[in-house]
Amino acid sequence: MLNPILYYVKLSKENYLRYSKQIILENIGIEGQKRIKTAKILMIGAGGLSCPIMMYLTGCGVGYIGIVDLDKIEVSNLNRQILYNEEHVNKFKVQIAKIQLNKINKDCKIIPHQYKFTSLNSKELIKYYDIIIDTSDNFKTRNTINQICYELSKIYIYGAVDSFCGQMSIFNYKDGIKYNNLYSKYISEDKNCNTNGIIGVTTGYIGTLQAIETIKIITGCKQKLNNKIILCDLINTKTITQKIYSHRIKINKILINKQYIQKLESYTKNKQVVIDIRSNEEFLKRHVKKSINIPLKSFKTHKTLKFLRKYGNQNLICIYCNNIKRSLLISSLLTVNQIQHKLLKTNNKTI
């Protein structure tokens, strides 16, 4: 919960009328609405996740919303970035977002930061805001957000999407978990997550979750998501909440290529098991001797996790895939299930 001085915060007659439906809610009330009015939120990114978040936060009366983004609107954005339309193509997102959000609520102060978020400007930018909402699509930006939020004691609300799947969590809240408890600081900072297809329903769903958790923190609602992550599979209509532990199981990175096949094969000895998460077709073309093929989709089953827990007690699980994104997805799943493992990755497309 944020602790602004509310004595001097006044709600106008128009405010009482406009926000009457949420003021009568037990978890908000007049004091909660005053907290919303004084809140300062920073959006990192102005894309698919950001659009529903900004619209809902603006609509409920958040006082200040900063938006940092240097991108222009493209036609391919319009299927999910619902704040924009065809007339806005080739215009800067932050400028159009300001215009569109002011149409929703003219009292909300929209602050555009039309530049790229970097490690050089991050501290100067973040220090002015209460809550940082991450809608970025790369690990380098997320690691920077994580570091600066920790240094400045800022709450970090995280969201990520891929195809019909998404995840959402709250970091650095009441001395809770941090982003690096979910992903290693050193995992693929040069990787961009925005490589697969995406539908607007997925970004809308995860973005809405980020928005409601933001409002709950502002108003002081009891936070049940602290130290947990929400994992959503919308194509199969599944949503689970997993506990994350601050003392994260260490994931060792081993860069490998063709000349290291013998080293990889040695993992099958000395109580180490190599799990190849590629498809059956990829596995049959070429694989490490004695490795076990468990395709990505099979990790969704309880039997797979039960198997890995059983063998993980006596053997070190080594995950291999030539696609870093798939490796990171499985690594996250194993981490939240407290299954110790190593993440093996390659510089080449094939092993």
Selection from 140-154, 218-232, 313-327 with the highest mean pLDDT: 140-154
Amino acid at 286: R
Residue 271 vs residue 227, higher pLDDT: 227
Residue 143 vs residue 338, higher pLDDT: 143
* Averaged pLDDT score across all residues of the chain: 84
Amino acid at 47: G
In the prediction, which pLDDT does 33 show?
96
Q: Which residues have CB under 8 Å from 101's CB, separation 6+?
A: 54, 55, 58, 65, 83, 108, 110
Class of 253-346 in CATH: alpha beta
Taking alpha carbons only, the member of 131, 102, 97, 109 closest to residue 211 is 131
What Å distances lie between residue 126 and 25, 61, 216, CA to CA?
31, 21, 20
Residue 253 vs residue 219, higher pLDDT: 219
CATH 3.40.50.720 fits 13-243, yes or no: yes
In the prediction, which pLDDT does 267 show?
47
The whole-angstrom separation of Cα 141 and Cα 133 is 12
Q: What is the mean pLDDT of residues 91-118?
A: 96
Contact 156, 149 (CB under 8 A): yes
The whole-angstrom separation of Cα 269 and Cα 247 is 28
The single residue listed with the structure tokens 């947990």 is: 228
Q: Over the stretch 160-171, which tens digit does the pLDDT of each residue have? A: 998 899 999 999
Q: Which residues have CB under 8 Å from 98's CB, separation 6+?
A: 67, 110, 112
Q: What is the mean pLDDT of residues 11-32?
A: 95
Q: Which residues have CB under 8 Å from 178's CB, separation 6+?
A: 146, 150, 156, 171, 172, 246
Residue span(s) of the chain under CATH 3.40.50.720 come to 13-243
- Residues of the chain with pLDDT > 70, as a percent, come to 85
Residue span(s) of the chain under CATH 3.40.250.10 come to 253-346
Q: Over the stretch 259-283, which tens digit does the pLDDT of each residue have? A: 334 444 454 455 678 888 888 778 7
Report the alpha-carbon angle 185-186-192, nearest 5.
95
Sheet holding 165-171, edge to edge: 109-113, 64-68, 40-44, 131-134, 155-162, 165-171, 228-233, 238-243
The band of 349, judged by pLDDT with boundaries at 50, 70 and 90, is very low
Q: Over the stretch 41-82, which tens digit does the pLDDT of each residue have? A: 999 999 999 999 999 999 999 999 999 999 999 999 999 999
In the prediction, which pLDDT does 248 show?
41
Q: Over the stretch 166-192, which tens digit does the pLDDT of each residue have? A: 999 999 998 888 998 887 655 555 455
In the prediction, which pLDDT does 273 show?
80
Check whether 196 has a pLDDT greater than 80: no
